[in-house]
Amino acid sequence: MMFLVVSLPEMKLTLQTQLFPDRDQQRKLLATMEAFNAAADWLAREAFALQTANKVKLQQLFYRQLREQFSLSSQMAIPCTAQVCEAFSRDRKIKPRFRKYASIPYDQRLMSFKGMDHVSLLTLEGRVIVPLVMGKYQHERFSQNYGQCDLVRRKDGKWFLLVTVEVPDKTPTPATDFIGVDLGTENLATDSAGECFSGVDIERVRQKRHHQRQELQQAGEKRKARGSRPKQLRRKLKKASGTEAKFRKHTNHVIAKQLVAKAIDTGCGIALENLKGIRTRARFRQSQRAKMSGWAFFQLRAFIEYKAQLAGLPVVPVDPKYTSQMCSQCGHTEKANRLSQSEFRCRACGFELHADINAARNIRARALVSPLKVSEHPHVRPSTGIKPLASAVGLLTHPL
């Protein structure tokens, strides 16, 4: 029996820790955040005018002005320049903008941890030692080497420190089989074992928030027409913003955790569709567009990948082409095999199965004969295309 070992790249995690500054500390942190972002916004205009993202050049030209005009310390002027260069280098055609209370970076020169419950942060008025709290998940991983941190002030006034930590490589588990995972909208994920993770709750929350926004916006327009200022409605809209995204993120975390736990229990790797560019390739009816815009398949895939990597499980991307039209029993591929969103019946052999489960089994089959993995074994000739895969699909008489 051939064992397959896929090496896992080094990974970084961002841990969220909450800060509890007192009123005086909040004042100092706010002043520092305002000055830093004002300096970054000013420097971005200069970088755009010069059309340069060269950190050394910008430091030579504007380092003294950053310190004198915005009262930044030398330790803050340097990361401010780096922040602007990083933002401008993404797209030279657009001038970066920095919001008043945007997050600001803190490195080891600007901060230091005082045990596990306090952190020292540099401000315009010197250092402040702020209490912090982290959960069990963050605490278990915080012992690793940490890199840059981001100081964040949320809309509700709460303060957080996002800490980037390096996760050491874990010896990958040898994989002889895979769990195929089909991603979709009706079912957010369906695995080759036949388990479906419904997207009904996410769609219900999306529609509820959509109707709520419409009602509040219409009420606001009516009040504006009468000459009043709808502050209360704006506050409600601001409070409701992000609720849908938070619910979707939580749901994706739960699904990813369950899939990885199943892979650990069965000793399998995970096979996922490579859906890069799916929104530009696929066409959707007008009634489907709002639903597709809220389809967080990239987020779900990212959660599955990093949770699997922490567990030492290989994750293999496969070409999703024709997986929904191919029969997982005999390999016959035809568009007419897919009767509806949930129904699949092979026109060649008559095999019937839930369409998403059938697609997940095809994804698993492709992972088993993937050229990426077979090429690691020089005595095995890699298979390409759909025809060799069809013969392999028929051999999977007991798919996961």
In the set 177, 191, 305, 356, the catalytic residue is: 356
Active site residue 150: no
Q: Which two tokens stand for residue 337?
A: 């095999």
Q: Give residue 13's Cα distance to chain centre.
A: 11
Q: Where are the beta strands (DSSP E) in 287-383?
A: 315-318, 343-345, 352-354
Q: Which two tokens stand for residue 218?
A: 């219409």
Active site residue 356: yes
In the set 177, 191, 273, 305, the catalytic residue is: 273
Q: Which residues contact 138 (CB under 8 A, 6 or more apart)?
A: 15, 16, 17, 163
In the set 177, 182, 191, 305, the catalytic residue is: 182
**DSSP one-letter string for 79-120:** HHHHHHHHHHHH-TTS-----TT--EEE-TTTEEE-TTSEEE
| Contact predicate 53/47, CB 8 Å | yes
How many residues in total does the chain contain? 400
Nearest to residue 273, comparing CAs of 183, 210, 207? Answer: 183
Active-site amino acid positions? 182, 273, 356
